[in-house]
A and B are shown apart, each in its own frame.
Chain A
């Protein structure tokens, strides 16, 4: 039997496609199970309303840095002598050529911060990546299944923040001492076809029960929308999902209600600024937009953390026009919030913004930008339990 030449070609192409597809599929890891978020190490009887302030201060700045912004607090494993590691960007000013990523650690026993030092420099980063980096911005950190810190840093290309990419770096060796902490750049995460531009990161990832994480990111070139990236327990990028169909929301912060029911609270860019909401009921596989929270927000970053079932906290600027006030609120469901602490009350021209939250040793700690010059921190404990006590 002789096939028509075109049919024969079609069969050849189909066969080749099947072979390529099979070769590709064989190289890939098995499909991961639906994502299930994990509660932080919280006591089952935790009551957020009992949180009491126990300590506060400012984190030492690296020598010569006049400005600081966008801090991120990373809770360290119980085996580490440090309770917290803070990352932020510092330099002459935001978006200055000399901005680098700084790091400092809080000792678990003494609650003292180490001297800060720089760990990421745009020149060396560019040389290691093979392509240039104009500016450095927000850092976010996470610890993988091998106890290595992964650092995800905003790095701009040709343009301003809207031309940013997210560069993924990994600690060269797990459990390094603070002095030896080094990061090797892996790649710019492939998130957009348009020269891979305009994706940024700001808020903390949601830790998954399988050891992986879901990282909230956002696009901000004209239209602004959030997305969630999934990583496996080794920190390998696995996929991405868009969080919202709105075009005026950014900087999502993820909040678990149950292991598979999540909220994304969103900074909105509107004159009557409110906090936006998106919701997923299947572990972040699909999202739907919800009604905005009845909470003012001056187009500023927020940070939320679910400590235990029904126990959620949110650090935010409760105003439509100013970042001079910073509050800590609590909620049983992520939708209805009440203030538990006034973190800062500044004058009209002062700014207290970009909070980051972490739960460590039974204490809730947060850091935030103070007048764009320093990074301030505060810790709250259950009945003022000292930091360092086991939960």
Chain B
């Protein structure tokens, strides 16, 4: 195979590879189980400090998603929304993981921010970083989660938190493009591009840019690994639909990213004033 043939194969839009039907069913349950558990955990954290109770709520909701159809919550959520994106699922898994093993005050570990003003299905928006200097001074006390160690106000390297809003902004822009494409309001056929092999590489490069251009001495940021990990899972399984865009973003995650960016802008605005 010469280079031209290889490029042709990478760019082809008519060689789609879809996930096995049984894998799609597994992800439907698993994905909604992760989302349900993370949401349950976040909501339970609003009204109880007992860890066992929070985990019970999260576990029960996860279990509910995995029941046989039609008793499973995933059956009804799938009716309306199909399966969540892999990025949404991984974000929720990371959120749960940080609850299981709370970081000991490291400024780089993900913490659960306030869920007060967030929509019911906004897992990505809940994933944020421990505050950098400016952020730490502006965040309200009740925004902090009660059972998390107080974030260290020590100076985080400038730019350490830049990656998250850049990724969020990219997600918002991608969502708008996909929405307009769905309604055929663009001259291009962007969703169909997601069926090509080259879209995987493009997504990885774009998603890695915040890491590439972050300060070399910035500490490791586990959430930056979510997109590459999701793409790796996609190459292995082609979940959730065989289209790369469905791996990266679903409409609920897109809504959540809007909320996250607006909150961040408002904080910045009031901090400046």
Contacts and interface: CB of A to CB of B under 8 A. Distances in A.
A130 B79 contact: no
B16 A238 contact: yes
B42 interface: no
Given A25-B6, A31-B15, A194-B182, A132 B78 contact: yes
Interface string A223-258: 101000010000011111110010100000000000
A126 B75 contact: yes
Contacts of A158: 79-81
B8 A188 contact: no
B191 A24 contact: no
Interface residues of B, number: 64
A192 B184 CA distance: 11
Interface string A127-141: 101111110000000
Interface of B (DSSP majority class)? helix
B212 interface: yes
A236 B79 CA distance: 23
B246 A193 contact: yes
Contacts of B142: none
A174 interface: no
Given A193-B179, A222-B183, A25 B75 contact: no
A27 interface: yes
B45 to A, nearest CB: 28
Given A130-B78, A195-B251, A196-B82, A32 B70 contact: no
Nearest to A222: B183
B204 A16 contact: yes
B53 interface: no
A115 interface: no
B1 to A, nearest CB: 9
B246 A21 contact: no
A202 B13 CA distance: 24
Given A29-B15, A190-B241, A190-B242, A132 B179 contact: no
A240 B205 CA distance: 25
Nearest to B72: A130
A109 interface: no
B18 A236 contact: yes
Nearest to A35: B14
Contacts of A193: 178-179, 181-182, 191, 243, 245-246, 249, 251
A185 B69 CA distance: 15
A222 B182 CA distance: 11
A336 B47 CA distance: 71
Contacts of A32: 14-15
Contact of B204 (A17, A126, A240): A17
Contact of A31 (B14, B81, B191, B250): B14
B197 A126 contact: no
Could you say which of B29, B183, B228 has the most chain A C-beta atoms within 10 Å of its C-beta?
B183
A25 B10 contact: yes
Interface string A181-197: 00001111011111110
Given A16-B228, A132-B78, A193-B178, A239 B183 contact: no
Interface stretch (B20-28, B109-117, B258-266): B20-28
30 contacts: A9-B208, A20-B200, A20-B231, A21-B198, A21-B200, A24-B17, A25-B197, A126-B70, A126-B79, A127-B68, A127-B69, A129-B25, A130-B24, A130-B28, A130-B78, A131-B74, A132-B75, A132-B76, A132-B79, A188-B82, A194-B179, A195-B251, A223-B183, A230-B14, A236-B18, A238-B14, A239-B192, A239-B195, A240-B189, A241-B189
Interface of B: 6, 8-10, 12-18, 21, 24-25, 28-29, 68-70, 74-82, 178-179, 181-185, 187, 189, 191-192, 195, 197-198, 200-202, 204-205, 208, 211-213, 216, 228, 231-232, 235, 241-243, 245-246, 249-251
Interface of A: 5-6, 9-10, 13-14, 16-18, 20-21, 23-25, 27-32, 123, 126-127, 129-134, 157-158, 185-188, 190-196, 219, 221-223, 225, 230, 236-242, 245, 247
